[in-house]
């Protein structure tokens, strides 16, 4: 594993710990992650610059989107956030589908809302997904040929992780990738907090002819651990009317088609 990958994984674990405990000292993080306090201070400073956390005396607290007290940043926790916006975005994504397409759907909670609309479609599609819940949502529709990417299932996650699905993705060329990031900055692209999902999403991006980003308004201007798609690789953005207009204007200026739906 490369040094950069190790740093990304460490920062991902750091965020998960902070999400679960709300705040933490450098000393307890050092014990929990088994790294030096000096290394952790570097990580914390970087994550503070990205707006993910706020430094306090002797430690840090998370900033930005709230997570229910006492819960980890699990799939079930994220699924409950901004549900109306995600449902509207997922429904709008149906307009991008055509008969006979092969599509990728990632394991995000917003993409799951697309799957809930897709489960009743009579459009014949091949759906390739890394999402356990997405696959289960679609399994009973006879018009859909559903392929679940292989990998490791981590506790609290709705996604398969790891590189086991990489060989499959190299053999498939999808017409569209529907993906939702943990954060989106025009200068950084689509970002996520789980380094294992980031790697799989990068491979999906590489194997897709078109990338459609499903981004609720709370995700704009938010940084995360690593980018999996540069902004110029994104063709379409579907978001809600609460999205910051300056960012949407910049995306349009870059040639990205932006669609907003009512919350």
Look at residues 17, 37, 62 and tell me which one is the last residue of a structural domain.
62
pLDDT beyond 80 at 95: yes
HSE (side-chain half, CA atoms, 13 Å) at 131: 28
137: phi then psi, degrees, rounded to nearest 5: -65, -30
pLDDT: is 152 or 55 the higher one? Answer: 55
Listed in sequence order, the residues at least 6 apart from 147 whose beta carbon sits closer than 8 Å to its beta carbon are 126, 127, 128, 129, 168
Q: 41 is in which domain, residue-wise? A: 3-62
Same domain, 214 and 93: yes
Domain count within the chain: 2
71 found inside a domain: no
Distance CA 246, CA 107 (A): 28
197 found inside a domain: yes
Contact predicate 150/168, CB 8 Å:
yes
- Please list, residue by residue across 185-210, b when 16 or more beta carbons sit within 10 angstroms of its beta carbon and e when fewer do: bbebbbbbbbbbbbbbbbbbbebbee
Same domain, 141 and 34: no
pLDDT band at 51 (very low <50, low <70, confident <90, very high): low
Same domain, 99 and 173: yes
154 found inside a domain: yes
Distance CA 260, CA 5 (A): 35
| pLDDT per residue as tens digits for the range 117-157 | 999 999 999 999 999 999 999 999 999 999 999 877 766 66
pTM of the model: 0.74
Same domain, 257 and 157: yes
232 found inside a domain: yes
142 found inside a domain: yes
| Of 22-26, 89-93, 188-192, 231-235, minimum mean pLDDT range | 22-26
229 found inside a domain: yes
Mean pLDDT over residues 21-34, rounded? 88
Query: Which 8-state DSSP code applies to residue 162?
Result: S
- The tokens describing 32, both together, are 């929990």
Distance CA 15, CA 17 (A): 5
pLDDT band at 9 (very low <50, low <70, confident <90, very high): confident
69 found inside a domain: no
Same domain, 154 and 192: yes
Same domain, 209 and 256: yes
What CA–CA distances, in Å, run from 186 to 68, 174, 213, 236?
A: 28, 24, 13, 13
Quick one: CA dihedral 260, 112, 95, 171, positive or negative?
positive
92 found inside a domain: yes
């Amino acid at each position: 594993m490369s040094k950069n990958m190790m740093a990304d994984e460490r920062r991902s674990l750091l965020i998960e710990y902070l999400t679960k405990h709300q705040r933490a000292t450098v000393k307890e993080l050092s014990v929990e992650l088994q790294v030096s306090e000096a290394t952790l201070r570097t990580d914390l400073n970087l994550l503070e610059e990205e707006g993910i956390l706020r430094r306090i005396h002797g430690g840090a607290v998370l900033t930005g989107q709230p997570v229910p007290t006492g819960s980890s940043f699990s799939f079930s926790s994220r699924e409950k956030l901004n549900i109306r916006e995600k449902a509207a975005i997922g429904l709008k994504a149906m307009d991008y589908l055509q008969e006979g397409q092969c599509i990728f759907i990632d394991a995000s909670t917003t993409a799951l809302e697309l799957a809930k609309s897709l489960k009743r479609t009579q459009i014949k599609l091949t759906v390739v997904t890394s999402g356990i819940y997405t696959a289960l949502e679609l399994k009973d529709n006879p018009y859909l040929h559903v392929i679940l990417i292989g990998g490791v299932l981590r506790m609290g996650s709705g996604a398969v992780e790891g590189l086991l699905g990489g060989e499959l993705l190299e053999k498939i060329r999808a017409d569209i990738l529907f993906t939702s990031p943990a954060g989106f900055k025009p200068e950084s692209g689509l970002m996520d907090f789980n380094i294992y999902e980031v790697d799989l999403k990068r491979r999906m991006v590489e194997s897709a002819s078109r990338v459609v980003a499903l981004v609720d308004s709370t995700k704009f201007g938010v940084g995360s651990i690593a980018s999996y798609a540069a902004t110029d690789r994104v063709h379409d953005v579907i978001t809600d009317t609460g999205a910051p207009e300056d960012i949407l204007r910049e995306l349009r200026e870059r040639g990205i088609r932006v669609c907003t739906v009512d919350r």
